[in-house]
């Protein structure tokens, strides 16, 4: 019996081939920019893990990896901007070339917070690779150093990104159509 895949009813924003091609380009740029160094990739859980897994396999220089977990708080539909680390790094980033890996840069609150917290541990450098960039929603003045795709202000799921912890397993990036559905999403983490 053929079981329809969950999420297959949602419109595709970026298909898996397009994502793979762009990730190869990003990894090539990273390998070139960090040549002679060993970047330390810090993935922000949970959204970034699928992207991180594909990205590192296209990087052609030595690199090391670690993960941290973040929770952002808010009441109702509005994120308060309060962010907290719920799983810290395993190893020191002192004098390391840290490359934070994020699924999506939205208001910029998460990365702004991470810049402050990670920056206090004296990394040799601190940069950001984000698969997606919802530039029009930015509240704080942060930019990613490597961006996969700039996307419009739609709520996206799949390829690691969730709605209510679901849809992370979709191979493509899809979106939930209609601005009227946005208030249902609540705080984003
Ligand atoms: P920022 O702190 O507003 O930049 O938010 C970044 C985080 O919000 C991301 O790491 C995601 O976890 C989450 N987020 C923002 N937009 C979306 C979306 O469209 N779909 C799923 N998660 C999102
Ligand atoms: Mg996230």
Q: In what order do the strands lie in the sheet with 97-105?
A: 78-87, 64-75, 40-45, 97-105, 125-133, 146-150
CA of 35 to the centre of ligand 1 (A): 30
Pair 10, 176: CB distance under 8 Å: yes
* Whether the CB of 104 sits within 6 Å of ligand 1: yes
**pLDDT by residue (tens digit) across 20-75?**
999 999 999 999 999 999 999 999 999 999 999 999 999 999 999 999 999 877 54
CA distance 66 to 30: 17
Protein residue whose Cα sits closest to atom 12 of ligand 1 = 189
**pLDDT by residue (tens digit) across 85-108?**
999 999 999 999 999 999 999 999
* Whether the CB of 67 sits within 6 Å of ligand 1: no
Q: Pick the atom of ligand 1 nearest to 134's CA.
A: 16
């Amino acid at each position: 019996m053929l079981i329809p895949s969950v999420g297959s009813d949602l419109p595709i924003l970026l298909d898996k081939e397009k994502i793979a091609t762009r990730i190869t380009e990003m990894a090539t740029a990273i390998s070139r920019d960090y040549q002679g160094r060993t970047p330390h990739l810090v993935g922000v859980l949970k959204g970034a893990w699928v992207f991180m897994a594909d990205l590192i396999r296209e990087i052609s220089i030595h690199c090391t990896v670690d993960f941290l977990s973040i929770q952002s708080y808010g009441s109702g539909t509005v994120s308060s901007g309060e962010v907290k680390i719920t799983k810290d790094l395993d190893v020191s980033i002192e004098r390391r070339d840290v490359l934070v890996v994020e699924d999506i840069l939205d208001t910029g609150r998460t990365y702004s917070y991470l810049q402050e917290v990670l920056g206090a541990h004296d990394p040799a450098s601190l940069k950001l690779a984000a698969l997606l960039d919802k530039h029009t929603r930015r509240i704080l003045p942060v930019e990613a150093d490597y961006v996969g795709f700039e996307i419009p202000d739609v709520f996206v799921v799949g390829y690691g990104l969730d709605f209510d912890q679901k849809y992370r397993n979709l191979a493509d990036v899809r979106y939930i159509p209609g601005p009227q559905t946005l208030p249902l999403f609540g705080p984003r983490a």
